[in-house]
Every structure is written in C-alpha cells, then in structure tokens.
Structure 1
C-alpha cells in the first residue's frame, strides 16, 4: 500500500531518491542517457535490431559482413558506455542513500541514548522515592 504525505499524490520515497530524480530530470544530458539506456535495455530494442540486421543481411548488401561488423562494434562501444553510465548512477545512488541512512541512524542513536539516560534518571528517582516512602511507612 502506497503512503502519501499530505497534499502530495506521489507515494513517500527516500529523500535521496527524490533528490536524484530532481537532479536527473533537470539535466538534459542525463535525461537523454536515461532514455537511451531504458530503450537499449528493452525487448523492442532487440526486435528492432533483429529486423534491421536481418533486412540488411538479406536485402541491402551482397556482402554485409565487413560493414555490419564495423557498425555492430561501434554500437557495442556506445551501449557499453551507457551501461557504465547506468552503473555509475546506481553506485552514486547507493552511496548517497548509504550516507543519508548513516546520518539518520546516528541521529536516531543519539535520540535513543538520550531517552535511555532520561529513563534511567527517572527510574532511579522513582526507586529512591519508593524506598523513602517505604521507610516512612515502616516507621509509622
């Protein structure tokens, strides 16, 4: 079940996800890289290549192998670059998320430590008062 916050219709998400989404959508180059990566990692991309290469080999050239090999090699270079862009993006996201989570956990630890100290002080005071009242009752 998606939780929403106040007037927002978007489900709540990790702050790092929100920040990276905003930064990626504001940069045209990153939006283009994301679109290419999304398409290159899809089945329509595979079908398009099967159709283009089959058509080329069967209809366009008598000896397609030298040119086809060159084009496929160049495409592989560019696609591997987009894979690395995706890996760098994932690594940056994981690092940003880990840094954010570390800071949040440290703040939570400080809060819990302070609460534990306060509980100890209150418990000690309650214990002292109960002992004092118990001694007063036994004297009566």
Structure 2
C-alpha cells in the first residue's frame, strides 16, 4: 500500500531539505578546515572572551587583586596599592580582545558576503524562471483560446529584469537622496 500523497510530498521536501542542509553543513566544515591557525586561535579567544567563564575568571582575579592590595589578606605583601598595574593590565587586555573580536567579525563579514551573493544568485534565477513561466503560461492560455485579463502589471512581470539596471537605479536614487547606503529592510 502506498503512502498518502501528503506524506510522499513531505518525504520529497524532506529529502530535498536534508540534501540542502547537508550541502551547507559540508561547505561550512570545509571553510572551517581551510581557515588558518591564526584565524582559529582568534575565533577561540573571541569565543572564550564572550563567555561567562571569562566573566567569572575576571571577577575572581580582580576580587583577589583588590583583596591582596588593600591588605585584607596578609599572605602576600601589597604590590599594587594604587591599582595602577591592574588598570594597565586591563587596558592592554581590552586592546587585544578588541583586536581578536574585530578579526572574527571580519571573517564573519566575509562569510555573510558569500551568503548574500549566493542568495542574490538564487533570487535572480528564481525571478528569471518566474518570468519564463509567466510567458509560457500566457502562451498556453492564448493557444488554448483562454482569455485572461492582461494587465499592465502582468505584461511588466513578463519582462526580464537586468540586475545591472536594478543596481544602477538603487544607486541613482540613493545619490539623489544624498545617502550612501540603502535604508534598512
């Protein structure tokens, strides 16, 4: 006995979805393998610096530093009574952590740019296919003698859109408004 039509459709969608997810995961794994040792180190430091373990570690170190240097625990002599060394260490650490975060953000931006390019290509392909389908359906309807209400919008949708023209139009409108980036979506 065969599965109901909705289960077959779901199975096809699931196979397609699974295949796409697997392809994306393999791509990410490959990109991770291709990253340099320096990039992996920067990412690891950034991950650690953005964790609660990092916060707890700093809370412990700073608390102990203060306790030792105000003389509450005579186990050690006071070595930073004005906390100048603590301030210097914190400043240098902030410089390095900021640099590691920027390195990681630059890599994420590169990955986002790649995904945006892929998304644009898929959208352009889908727009082209939709235009072709509209033209084909209109021709079939005409051949079969089916009258369809042809609107200006339908005729406009049948026209191929050139990405260069769209980009030129966006840039021209942004220039007229005196802005350099598009409004948020």
Same fold? TM cut 0.5? yes
Gaps of 5+ in 2: 1-13, 69-75, 147-185
1:53 corresponds to 2:66: no
> CA RMSD, aligned part only?
2.5
1:62 corresponds to 2:78: yes
Q: Which runs of 4+ in 1 moved over 4 A?
A: none
Cα distance between partner residues in 2 of 1:53 and 1:61: 16
1:22 corresponds to 2:30: yes
Find the structure with the greater CA-based Rg.
1
1:95 corresponds to 2:113: yes
Q: Quick check: 1:25–1:31 contact (8 Å CA) kept in 2?
A: no
| Residues 81-128 of structure 1: per-residue CA shift (max 9 Å, x gap) | 122123222322222111110010001111111111111111110008
Output aligned runs, 1:23-42, within 5 Å.
23-27=31-35, 28-42=37-51
Of Structure 1 and Structure 2, which has the larger fraction of its residues in helix?
Answer: 1
Count of residue pairs the alignment pairs up = 121
What TM-score, normalized by structure 1, do the two folds share? 0.73
Cα distance between partner residues in 1 of 2:23 and 2:129: 21
- Decide whether aligned partners of structure 1 residues 77 and 61 sit closer, same or farther in structure 2, where only a CA change above 3 A counts: farther
Output aligned runs, 1:77-92, within 5 Å.
77-92=95-110
Q: CA deviation at 1:24?
A: 2.7
Considering Cα pairs closer than 8 Å and 6+ residues apart, tell me whether 1 or 2 has the greater RCO.
Answer: 1
Gaps of 5+ in 1: 129-140
Cα distance between partner residues in 2 of 1:81 and 1:20: 24
